[in-house]
Amino acid sequence: MHKHHNGLKTAALFGVLWAVLLGLGAVIGTGTRSVAPIWIMALVGVGTTAYGYWNSDKIAIRSMHAYPVTEAQAPQLYQIVRELSVRANQPMPAIYVSPTMAPNAFATGRNPRNAAVCCTEGILQLLDARELRGVLGHELMHVYNRDILTSSVAAAVAGVITSVGQMLLYFGGGDRRNANPLATIAMALLAPFAASLIQLAISRTREYDADEDGSSLTGDPLALASALRKIERGVQLVPLPQEQKIVNTSHLMIANPFRASAMTKLFATHPPMQERIERLERMAGRSSLE
C-alpha cells in the first residue's frame, strides 16, 4: 500500500543515518587507530533496542496506564477493529483504553500477532464512529507496515551516534597528532543533532504512509482528516504531561500529545497537522475522480 516515493525517502534517510555513523567511525579510527569503541556502543544500542522492540506493546501500554477492555465494555471499538482486521486479512489485536481525557490513540507490537491498539477515553468521547474508524485504520497500518521495527532501528542507530559523539566530545579524538581537534569537536556536536533530525524525518515519513495506507484500508480519507482536526484542537485543550515515559512513546500516537510550541514543532515526531489534512483531502479528491 505504500506510496513509492515515501519508501524511497525512508531508505534514503537510513542511508544518511548510516553515513553519519561511518563518518564518526572514521574520525575515531583516525585518532585512535581503532574503531572498537563504536562497535561496543553499537552492540549496546542493538541490545537495548532489541529489548524495547520485543516489549514495545507492554512499554507503551504501561506508559499510558491503559487497561484492557472486553467487547461488552467497548462494543463499537471492537466492531471497528474487527472489521478492519478482517479487511486487511490480519489477526485481531488486543484492545486497551487509557484513562485520560487527552484525545489520542496508538497501536504497537512487533508484528500483527503481537499487536495492541489503545484509545484514550478522551478520543472515544470526542470522535464519532466514522472518524474513529479513520483513526484506527491509520494505527493498524503502523503495525501492518512493521513501523515499530523501522522506528526501533532508526532509534538504535541514532542512539549509537549520540553516544559516540559524547565520547568524542568528552574524551577527544585520541592521538592529537593525527586528529584535527576542531573537526573532532564539530563532528561530536553536529553528528548527534543530525542523527536526531534524520530519526524525526523517518518518523514523519511513516506517519504520512500510515495516513495514506489507513485511508486506503477504510476507503474514507476525509474521515481521518476530520478526526485529525478534532484531535489537534483537543490536544491543545488537554495535552498530556511531558513525563519521560510518555515522551518515549509519543511517536506512536496519532498526533503529538503535547501542547505545541516553536521548539516542540522543530523536534516533533509528527508532520504538521494541516499538511496531513491537506494530503488526505487531495487523496479523497483523486478517489472521487476514479
Per-residue pLDDT of the chain (290 residues; tens, 9 = 90+): 445 455 666 667 667 766 776 666 666 666 556 666 666 666 766 676 677 667 777 888 999 999 999 999 999 999 999 999 999 999 999 999 999 999 999 998 888 998 999 999 999 999 999 999 999 999 999 999 888 777 777 776 777 777 777 666 665 554 544 555 665 666 667 667 766 776 677 788 889 999 999 999 999 999 999 999 999 999 999 999 988 888 878 888 999 998 776 445 556 778 999 999 999 999 998 866 55
CA–CA distances in Å: residue 255 to residues 37, 59, 199, 222, 267: 37, 19, 17, 16, 14
Q: How far apart are CA 66 and CA 96, in angstroms?
A: 6
- Answer whether 165's CB lies under 8 Å from 25's CB: no
Q: In what order do the strands lie in the sheet with 105-108?
A: 67-68, 94-98, 116-120, 105-108
Structural domain spans, the chain: 4-289
> Known catalytic residues?
139
Instruction: Fill in the amino acid letter for 87.
Output: R
- 267 burial (CB, 10 Å; 0-12 / 13-18 / 19+) is exposed
Close Cβ partners of 68 (under 8 Å, ≥ 6 residues apart): 94, 95, 96
Dihedral in degrees, nearest 10, Cα atoms 49, 7, 220, 101: 30
Q: How far apart are CA 269 and CA 281, in angstroms?
A: 22
Predicted TM-score (pTM) above 0.85: no
Residue with cell 542512539: 159
H/E stretch holding 95: strand 94-98
Q: How far apart are CA 97 and CA 74, in angstroms?
A: 9
